[in-house]
Amino acid sequence: MKNLQLNSEGRLKHFLSIDGLNKEILTEILDTAESFASMSEQRVKKVPLLRGKTIVNLFFENSTRTRTTFELAATRLSADVLSMNIATSATSKGESLLDTIRNLEAMHVDMFVVRHAISGAGHYIAQNTAPHISVINAGDGQHAHPTQAMLDMYTIRQYKHDFSQLKVAIIGDILHSRVARSQIQALNMLGTKEIRVIAPKTLLPPQVESMGVRSFNTLEKGLQDVDVVIMLRLQKERMTSALLPSEREYFKCFGLTEQRLKLAKSNAIVMHPGPINRGVEIESSIADGDQSVILQQVSNGIAVRMAIMSLTMQSKGEGL
């Protein structure tokens, strides 16, 4: 099957999922992000790499953090940015996804950053858009959120350096999480020693081990000796769809408390893609504590998205 994400020279053309990429590309993204990160600390934060390019943020699903960091990343690359909140725009008037894309294409844009509630929407747009346009997936359904995964990899590398020695635990709603899927794929691609997922059976995908992880149903077992603890956000609707009894019970079993964090290595870092539910999946004192790198993740998001945007825009021609 053709690899939609790479051009004929094997360079990144679209960034839709970690699946289908390779270690070299992921490392290149991380290295490029590193060079942009040092720039953020300077007085002039802009580079002219994407001057004259037009980037459209197409958000079919609400988001503050992801959209803002994409906007900032594009601005720092000197691109022109237009953010569209489609949830309240054309499609609510009955325009199809394809027609929305075609109309924007006609306005000569160079890149779409897309968030959509349905798995595969990013692939669908990439398959149907004009050849000169790059598509970046900012989260599609339960499928993938690859820029989030890359900023997480960046953060892990920043603190832990060598993936081959690491034990990483991902805790929470793995079943519905596009973040977890992309993280698992990226961690595996970068050679992580051991990846664990910890959740009640109702929130674990069937045959999750096929993704290259060990699964646990209790924090007590799963957290033993891990170097990285990644918490996932628990959506309220999981309670109404009979997947969990209550937030309280969830916190009792799967909430990250100081007591439980002691099971991990003493220098373990705690991550969360945000927004966090204090007292539901994580205790406040941990979210704000020494081991938490949650805000660092947000800062890193800008550099990593700058790297991904500039790399996809530098590759020429259509995908294979």
Partner 1 sequence: MSKIHIRDGRIIDPANQLDQVGDVYIADGKILTIQETPSDFSADININAKDKIICPGFIDLSVRLREPGKSYKGTIASETAAAASAGVTSLCLPPDTSPVIDTQAVTELIADKSEKALYPQVLPIGALTQGLEGKELSSMYALKQAGCLAVSNSNKPPSSLLVLRRAMEYASTHDLLVIVRPDDPALGNNGCAHEGVFATRYGLPGIPEASESIAVAQYLELAELTGCRVHFSQLSCKRSVIKIQQAKKYGLQVSADVAIHQLHLTENDIEAFNSNYHVLPPFRTTEDKKYLRESLANSTINCICSDHQPHDIDAKLGAFPETEAGISALETLLPLMLKLVDDNAISLSQGIAALSHHPAQTLGIEKGRLTPAQAADICIFDPELSWTVNHDSWKSAGRNTPYWGETFKGRVTHTLQGGKLIYTL
* Contact criterion met (CB below 8 Å) for 117 and 61: yes
Mark whether 65 is an active-site residue: yes
Q: By rule CB under 8 A, what count of residues binds partner 1? A: 25
Chain residues 203-242 in contact with partner 1, contact rule CB under 8 A: 205-208, 210-211
Mark whether 115 is an active-site residue: yes
Mark whether 181 is an active-site residue: no
User: Quick one: 63 or 224, whose CB is closer to partner 1?
Assistant: 63
Chain residues 67-96 in contact with partner 1, contact rule CB under 8 A: 96
Residue 14 found at the interface with partner 1 (CB under 8 A): no
User: Quick one: 211 or 298, whose CB is closer to partner 1?
Assistant: 211
Side-chain-side CA neighbours of 296 within 13 Å: the count stands at 18
Mark whether 100 is an active-site residue: no
For residues 29 and 319, give the distance between their C-alpha atoms in angstroms, rounded to a whole number. Answer: 18
Residue 144 found at the interface with partner 1 (CB under 8 A): yes
For residues 247 and 230, give the distance between their C-alpha atoms in angstroms, rounded to a whole number. Answer: 19
Residues in contact with partner 1, shown as a per-residue x/- string from 162 to 181 under the rule CB under 8 A? ----------------x--x
For residues 74 and 31, give the distance between their C-alpha atoms in angstroms, rounded to a whole number. Answer: 18
Smallest separation (angstroms) from partner 1 to the CB of 61: 13
Residue from the set 13, 53, 115, 143 that interacts with partner 1 by CB under 8 A: 143
Q: Please give the residue ranges that form the binding site for partner 1 (CB under 8 A).
A: 1, 19, 96-98, 116, 118-121, 123-124, 140-144, 178, 181, 205-208, 210-211
Catalytic residue ranges: 65-66, 93, 115, 145
